[in-house]
Chain A
Amino acid sequence: MIELQGIGRTYRRPGGEPVVALDDVSLRIERGDFMAIVGTSGSGKSTLMNVLGLLDRPDTGRYLLDGEDVAGLDVDRQARVRNRRIGFVFQAFHLLPRTTALENVELPLVYSDRAEIAGLGRRALEQVGLADRIEHRTSELSGGQQQRVAIARALVNEPDLLLADEPTGNLDTKSAADVLSVFESLNQGGRTIVLVTHDPSVAAHCARVARIEAGRIVAIQERQATAVGARA
């Protein structure tokens, strides 16, 4: 589904040393995969996540999404790909304040060209177990519930790929477990999930773990015991 070939990304700040965030990264992610990308702070894992999510452009290399090189698309086409095919979950939730769960979840539909959008937000909230919190404002929800709202928002356009950047970083242990179990069940339902974390116990929930250090992928481990994805 995803194939990265020789991706490089260097940040040049005026007057400063260039920072190599990604150095010749190649990676394959199959449909139905549940992959963790682990690394320390500054290892390049967030840059890799941004490249995968078309939020940042690599300087070199190719990014094939379902066989199409998406790294070179213009900004409008990339926005369309993000809208239809990728869902994002962030560490800081990024929910709109003073807004109900449902309105937050429906935000991606604003930018969708789908004609029929009625009921999609509600269905996405049901998928994350928040059917009874639809009209609650985000400030009335616990951290774990807020992150589940964010997951529902990522799901609302029914994308193939979910990208989660430290999704449990702001949560207590119990909420983190809830959120991870949502990811696990989504993966069981066939969704491809890529999850960035520095936490080995979170990575332990994933079928495969790619370790990144200084902008390079140094190891990929398979965890057969917890491989619950659709991959045979």
Chain B
Amino acid sequence: MSTTRLLRSSLEALGRHKLRSGFMMLGSLIGVAALTFVLTIGAAAQQKLLDTVRQLFGPSSIVVSGGGGFFLGGPRGEAARLTLDDAAALAEEVSEVESWDPMQVVPGAQVRRGDASASVRVLGESERSERVWDRGVSQGEYFDAAAVAGSARLALIGETVAHALFRGEDPIGAEIQIGSVPFRVTGILERQGTDIHGMDRDNEIVIPISTAMRRVMNVDTIRAVKLLVRDPHRVDETAKAVTRVLRERHALAEGQPSDFTLMTSSAVQKNVQKVERVLFLYLPLVAGISLLAGGAVAATLMLSSVSARVGEIGLRRAVGARPRDIRLQFLMETAVTAVGGGLLGAALGSGLAVYLAGRMSFGVGVSPGAVALGIALAALTGLVAGVVPARRAALLEPAVALR
């Protein structure tokens, strides 16, 4: 008896029952597709998350936002009344603060240049933004302290904005309008790509914060301030000091909720870990359970297959099959369908992940680890699912089976 001949015979048996084989494959196909999909997307999302966090926080920083969070979904507080004076006072009174940058934002401003127009996120920043947010210009020059002091109408534009308004022309020195206010372009912002929310960080314009507050928005509050902390190990206690100073300045009584939100790099790290647990524990667990369900379906179908093929089993025994040959045949039939379904599922899951990640500009490749894990688990469930049916088939008495 050669195993090759037996394997061929198993494959032929599967071919005779295409519908049942198809349903058996479907179980592991769906399970493995789900598993490779969540693992591949998960790895991409984790990378994106870490990139975004690094962009926003760097190694050691605190972001104070007025009124309640728009940073990664913090709690919403009272009406915003965070001011430039608040930010300056923090830098003055909390000695660990090394540098700071206030920020104001218009989420969707209409920007025009001649006939071309675009909807753009406009950020008001100080000249220190270049260092505090670690984002400079790739062409041209950043605005200086004098520009901020004088509410100059200077604009640094992202690459997406540059493309939309200038289509290959040199934007440096050209004039654009934000709303109805004219600005002169002095630089192109360094490329940042999309963030974890899928927002294009290159569809942004940075202008001096004073200009944003007075000429574009007409507000006297800032949206947030980012503080760089000297010692990365003292971020948490610096955050406490910041809270104390701000609550004092806002005259908040004991027990009254804060009207500002603090995000520290260490707190964000904890959030990232929570997200990672979802990405790499809970989602794969759910996918694994669907694989398990697929295994149970395969086992049930194989059991019914054994019952339906009692005569065939008897015949095979009569023409010389040993009990172990029968057992091996049914094990191979479940294993082959499980691995086959697993291969298709891995292709489907990876393909879908790469396609969707591409559309969200996550930039992801096929994860060999996820594919290997999916196929290995499919093979394992297939073998386990085959054990009971194969045993039952092997124990059939030939004389009884042929009746």
A residues with CB within 8 A of B: 50, 53, 55-56, 75-76, 79-80, 82-84, 88, 90, 92, 94, 96-99, 103, 107-113, 153, 157
Contacts and interface: CB of A to CB of B under 8 A. Distances in A.
Contacts of A53: 318
B251 interface: no
A201 B314 CA distance: 29
A50 B320 contact: no
Given A79-B322, A96-B312, A111-B319, 19 more contacts: A55-B317, A75-B323, A76-B322, A79-B317, A80-B320, A82-B317, A82-B318, A82-B319, A84-B320, A94-B311, A94-B402, A97-B16, A103-B12, A107-B9, A107-B315, A109-B5, A111-B325, A113-B2, A153-B319
A109 B398 CA distance: 18
Interface string B1-28: 1100110110010001000000000000
28 contacts: A55-B399, A56-B399, A76-B324, A79-B322, A79-B325, A83-B320, A88-B318, A88-B319, A90-B402, A92-B311, A94-B314, A94-B315, A94-B402, A96-B315, A97-B16, A99-B16, A103-B12, A107-B316, A107-B319, A108-B320, A110-B1, A110-B321, A111-B6, A111-B322, A112-B1, A113-B2, A153-B319, A157-B320
Contacts of B6: 110-111
A86 B315 CA distance: 13
A67 to B, nearest CB: 21
A75 B320 contact: no
Report whether over half of chain B's contact residues are helix, strand or loop; otherwise say mixed: helix
Contact of B321 (A98, A111, A153): A111
Contacts of A153: 319
B140 to A, nearest CB: 74
A157 B318 CA distance: 13
B1 to A, nearest CB: 5
Contacts of A84: 320
A71 B2 CA distance: 26
A98 B324 CA distance: 25
B402 A55 contact: yes
A22 to B, nearest CB: 13
A211 to B, nearest CB: 22
Contacts of B398: 55
Contacts of A107: 9, 315-316, 319
Contacts of A92: 311
A110 B311 contact: no
A59 to B, nearest CB: 14
Interface residues of B, number: 26
B333 to A, nearest CB: 14
* Most chain A CB neighbours (cut-off 10 Å) among B9, B315, B317, B320: B320
B135 to A, nearest CB: 67
A90 B317 CA distance: 14
B21 to A, nearest CB: 12
Contacts of B1: 110-113
A108 B319 contact: yes
Contacts of A103: 12
Contacts of B16: 96-99
Contacts of B8: 110
Interface in B322-354: 322-325
Interface in B237-277: none
A230 B2 CA distance: 35
Contacts of B402: 55, 90, 94
Nearest to B320: A83
* Most chain B CB neighbours (cut-off 10 Å) among A96, A111, A113, A157: A111
B83 to A, nearest CB: 82
Contacts of B322: 75-76, 79-80, 111
B318 to A, nearest CB: 5
A157 to B, nearest CB: 8
Contacts of B12: 99, 103
8 pairs of A and B residues whose beta carbons are closest in the complex: A83-B320, A111-B320, A108-B319, A55-B399, A94-B315, A79-B322, A56-B399, A50-B399
Contacts of B323: 75-76
Interface in B98-152: none
Contacts of B325: 79, 111
Contacts of A94: 311-312, 314-315, 402
A120 to B, nearest CB: 13
Given A55-B398, A55-B399, A112 B320 contact: yes
Contact of A55 (B9, B312, B318): B318
Interface in B357-403: 397-399, 402
A23 B208 CA distance: 110
A111 B318 CA distance: 10
A83 B402 CA distance: 16
Nearest to B17: A98
A198 to B, nearest CB: 16
Contacts of B312: 94, 96
A80 B399 CA distance: 16
Contacts of A56: 397, 399
Nearest to A51: B399
A112 B320 CA distance: 7
B322 to A, nearest CB: 4
Contacts of A75: 322-323
B18 to A, nearest CB: 9
A166 B226 CA distance: 94
